[in-house]
Structure 1
Amino acid sequence: MSLPAAPDVTLLFGPLLLGVLLNTMLYGVMIVQAFLYYSRYKGDRSWFRYLVLYLVIVETANWVCDVGLIYEPLIVRYGTPEALKTSPILLRADGVLTVLISTPIQLFIAWRIQVVNRSYVLPVIIFVLAVISFGGGLATTVVVTLHPDFANFADFHVEIITWLISSTLCDVVLTASLVYSLWTRKTNVISTDGYINKIIRLTIQTGFVTAAAALLDVVLFLTLPATSFNFMFDFPLSKLYTNALISTLNARPWQEHVSQHEAPNALFEESNMGQASLQGQTSFALTPRIRTSQGAHQSYMSYPQPPKFKLDIESAV
């Protein structure tokens, strides 16, 4: 007598496992990014450093939960009907841990935009969308906790859509507004514009990745409700946010890499500015040395502040 065929769990546990692997790889990248940040930028504002520390702690909890949620059905409950029916216990924390990471990052970038633009319109829009996204993520955790069976997941449309669509819109708005703000503040000074272009490219890349991941998450959830393909993008989503923020912080020049003959960077360098910033705005006095044929420094050149460039040195972190 032949044994009954084992159920095919490929579409259930396969995407879950791939999502956990992506989360783990991005966690390693984040640890390296955080190490570089704390090694290089020891003089940053205290709350910048505390924010990064907070993200590392919550991301670690998120990673532990993701590893645990795939370990439970594949090892602890392996071969039992319960593993195919009820979702892992630690999966219930996914929504709230993700928004505990994404929301502070979105609010931080909203603050940057407010500093750059001196306007509260776009930051308020981003704040509202981020809060709605946070509420959706929290609601998702609540409904998954109350109804943990896999069969119930298809009924969570309102919570999932609220969370991920508002997060996607928030990422699009903050990326577009930050890019526009930086683009309109170019100075026609090569050293400064080079850093502005670098931050613009990084902002577009990271903003697009997080928005695309959130959008793919909700699209796969709605179009393939009988599978877990959406978790391939859901599990690494928080790591994409954290890596985006810390990589932006690390994109700033740091003291060991600033040549004494290089024009100071008006975006980031406070200690090397020719003039101290006045009332939160950077006075753009550049003083590169001129070397004579004998190799001695003899004079300085001063460049007046371009009339359109008024940008807080902390604004494009």
Structure 2
Amino acid sequence: MSDAIDLADYLARWVDHSPDREAVAETVLGIARASIAIDALIRQGPLAGAVTASTGKQSGVDQQKKIDVLANNLILDALRDCPVSCFASEEMDNPLRIHAGGKLAVAVDPIDGSSNVEANITLGTIFSILPALASGADGSSFMQPGHNQLAAGFTVYGPYTSFVVSVGAGTQIFTLDPVEKRFIRSFYSVAIPAVTAEFAINSSNYRHWEDCVRIYVDDLLQGRDGPRGKDFNMRWTATPVSDIYRILNRGGIFLYPGDLRDGYTSGRLRLVYEANPIAFVIEQAGGGASTGRTRILDVQPQSLHQHTPIVAGSKAEVDYVVRLHHEPHGPGERSPLFGRRGLFRT
């Protein structure tokens, strides 16, 4: 429930006269200001012009859209007034130096789910804040494992706009007051429900998954008649932060595994500015986040735009998936359901 504390008040209490925390707080507030501007842009929809048009540039496996670039510029402009040394983004090939003496490195996905913009489906912004390294001019500040993050979070642009953030003291959720243009805390120190009956995965990729992922999903789909002994519902928005926001509130699990397709063997989400901040927020809310084999926050980045598989959500459910990945003899005795008799064929 809301306790009427806004984001600035919350961060001021957390700072408690610490210069290092002050730098983080200023930067979080800068990202929040940019999020309010991005929210205003999104809510104009087609009235804002051809924001859904492709720029002709490839951004990973997606076509970059004009809204991606506009949002990126809004965040970059906001961070110029913050103690940020370097900035990295999904929309930029290389990091950008902002202030030589800055204490922090910020990595973002300016518009998560931009492929959904024409369909008027929830979008997001994801951010990660790391300590800037002395040698960070070459981008090395972003080659730190996720457990080094000082703060992380995301904005969800849905029916209402939420700012989810952790500064390492639990996960807080703030809701945008559209009149006063400030974020008011609506959920204090979120705890992900331990028991879940929901999962999020793009099941159209079933034929490409590893057997351990297929077996997990098959067990869920069998519901009360299967080994899990209860019914599960599948949810999928194609905007990861939307699915993660639901998990923070209702429990559940999000999976974007690697698969057998070219370019997908390491998953699709980017480690530095998507998986790491999501994992940080999830763990701070009592959940778990893994590649399926390794804790996300312990993965050592090798490149700025590196991909990773991700399994995140209610900790017991994530641990269950990890165990399936680590079965010493593999899942040979439990063939995937669709390959055995199938839900779509007899």
TM over 0.5: no
Q: Could you tell me the TM-score, scaled by structure 2's length?
A: 0.25
- Higher relative CO (Cα under 8 Å, sequence separation at least 6) belongs to 1
Indicate the structure with greater helix content. 1
Radius of gyration: which is bigger?
A: 1
Indicate the structure with greater strand content. 2
